[in-house]
Amino acid sequence: MSARRIFARPARFAAIAPYVWMVLFFLVPFGFVLKISLSQTVIAQPPYEPLFDLTAGWTAIQAAFAALSIDNFRLLASDDLYVFAYLRSLTVALTATGLLLLIGYPIAYGMARLPKRWQAVAMVLVIVPFWTSFLIRIYAWINILQHDGLLNQILLALRLVSQPVVWLSTDTAMYIGIVYSYLPFMILPLYATLARMEPALEEAASDLGAPPWQVFWLVTFPLSLPGVGAGVLLCFIPIVGEFVIPDLLAGSNSLMIGQTLWLEFFTNKDWPVASAAAILLLVVLLLPLLFYERLQRRQLEER
Amino acid sequence: MRKVSRLSRFNIASLALGLAFLYLPILILVIYSFNASRLVTVWGGWSLRWYHEFFADRAMIEASWMSLRVAVSSATIATLLGTLAAVALARGERFRGRTLFSGMLYAPLVMPEVITGLSLLLLFVALNAERGFWTVTIAHTTLTMCFVAVVVQSRLGSLDRSLEEAAMDLGCAPVRAFLLVTLPLIAPAIVAGWMLAFTLSLDDLVIASFTTGPGSATLPIRIYSEVRLGVKPEINAICTLVIALIAVVIVIASLASKLSSSQGESAAPL
């Protein structure tokens, strides 16, 4: 038996503790969300019907199943508020991801073309803001974007506008906040694939007479698609559920699904409907999540 | 030749603009935290006034203390569990339920925080657990151990396996070989993982809001409720202090990863 095989057995035992933990605190909780999304709202503490009582045996389980209802989901589908919230979440996430790709790609490309030594420095510089609290970074933008904030002061001083522009509580502010917070998540996977790319391919295309835009569009971009995919998913999925950035920077008239869920939970105390909203959000995100998981595994196998 | 130089000027411009975009807002925040004026937007000279105000604010100090305690304990548990998970995935080869295991470890990395927070809260309510320090710590451990696992696993993947195999061929038991050979080699990644878990926990607002109870707010929860009421210069000072703390953590983590890259190939990406 090779040393490799001998090592594998105790290494498998290492999985036990984290496995149990993840089942207990990640998988099981979803069961509760599912159960509560199918139960009735009551005015009590906790504000939903209790889970079935196992001590009462089979009849209790049958009763619990009989009590399950999809009313909460019907409510979500029939209420415009929720439908709009889902649509808005998807629109915002798509737009923001597009903006991130447009802004992040040139930066990642510039990084990948730097001399090797400077690439490491640039990477650290991009990662550092990611380590800095995102709430603080959003707060920094509130400082800049508010009515008498720095941006308006500069615009007024340059005489580009005659009176302060309203930035806060607009979608523009929200997009600035989202792009600012998620930029490292877009740059890093893009940079990883661009840096690994063979420069000879671009040179060959250029030697054969392709103008720069054609070199980029026909050679560089298609080769960077795995990075584009990873970056898009890393940004898109969390942005759909984003709550804090739209709450602090966007106006209050049209909510995203994360905000709706939060309000339903903390303000209306309607836990079953909040749970149903969470389940729906999860279903919407399941496809890209599964896709992401496969992508991750393929990358690990390539290594 | 001309084509290439034009391209690189574009590269440098986009890089410079990108970095300015990333850093200027934070820089402005730090500068304004030393502003003497009560108005956040008017510069009134340098002063430490808002730092004094922060240290006099009991609720803020208590929230900071709570956040630090949660971050240290959850990062420590997460590092233990995450390292074990990484070892199992990188060295355990095939075992039953491996796909589910790795799926559970990757899902929280991209899962919207509202869902993770909500589901954990419903669990704690169903278990009738008193919400506070421990529930937040458990929630943060669940999230951050996944990040630790990814960082440590990528280090294990780039490690030369012949070293630990040599130790076993020379008669070392697997666990001993791991402790004496593998563990020292992945130690920098483990340190970096702890740092990452620590800052993620310190930063988290959404999951903490769901899993904490009345009277035990973390710092982000306090900051958030203050910011919603309007901009206060005191917040600038708190934010600057948090940035300073995280800067120290980054320096230590980058030293650790420099150590790691001088020993082997590339360091962990985070």
CA distance B8 to A110: 7
Position A175 in a domain: yes
Position A42 in a domain: no
Pairs across A and B, CB distance < 8 A = 275
Total count of domains within chain A: 1
Largest Cα–Cα separation, chain A: 80
The CATH number for A100's domain is 1.10.3720.10
Looking up tokens 């619990």 gives A64
Q: What is the mean pLDDT of residues A210-229?
A: 84
For residue B83, the enclosing domain spans 58-261
Write down the pLDDT at residue B158: 81
Position A45 in a domain: no
Position B69 in a domain: yes
Position A31 in a domain: no
End-to-end CA distance of chain A, in Å?
25
Q: Which residue, among B119, B136, B154, has the nearest Cα to B72 in the 3D structure?
A: B136
B169 contacts on A by Cβ (under 8 Å): 3
Write down the pLDDT at residue B82: 95
The CATH number for B120's domain is 1.10.3720.10
Phi, psi dihedral angles at B198 (to 5 degrees)? -60, -50
CA distance B270 to A124: 9
Position B123 in a domain: yes
pLDDT greater than 90 at residue A156: no
Position B231 in a domain: yes
A113 contacts on B by Cβ (under 8 Å): 7-8, 11
Amino acid at A66: A
- CB-side exposure of B270: number of CA atoms within 13 Å? 24
Distance from CA of B207 to the nearest CA of A (A): 11
Residues 179-208 of chain A whose Cβ lies under 8 A from any Cβ of chain B: 180, 183-184, 187-188, 192, 206
List all residues 6 or more positions away from B209 whose beta carbon is below 8 Å from its beta carbon. Answer: B117, B221, B224
Whether A132 contacts chain B with CB within 8 A: yes
Position A212 in a domain: yes
CA distance A2 to A8: 10
Position A38 in a domain: no
Interface test with A, best of B34, B118, B206 (most A CBs within 10 A): B118
Position A233 in a domain: yes
Write down the pLDDT at residue B264: 46
Q: Do B205 and A233 touch (CB under 8 A)?
A: no
Per-residue pLDDT reduced to its tens digit, B83-113: 999 999 888 877 888 888 888 888 888 788 8
Position B83 in a domain: yes
Position A3 in a domain: no
**Which of B22-26, B194-198, B257-261 has the lowest average pLDDT?**
B257-261
- A59 vs A172, higher pLDDT: A172
Q: Do A15 and B149 touch (CB under 8 A)?
A: no
Whether A125 contacts chain B with CB within 8 A: yes
Which of B22, B81, B107 is facing A21, going by the closest CB pair? Answer: B81
pLDDT greater than 90 at residue A297: no
Position B26 in a domain: no
Total count of domains within chain B: 1
List all residues 6 or more positions away from B182 whose beta carbon is below 8 Å from its beta carbon. Answer: B156, B159, B163, B164
pLDDT greater than 80 at residue A56: no
Write down the pLDDT at residue A183: 93
Whether A287 contacts chain B with CB within 8 A: no
Interface test with B, best of A26, A53, A128, A295 (most B CBs within 10 A): A26
The pLDDT-based confidence of B41 (bands split at 50, 70, 90) is low
The pLDDT-based confidence of B140 (bands split at 50, 70, 90) is very high
Name residue B46's beta-bridge partners: B35
pLDDT greater than 60 at residue B267: no
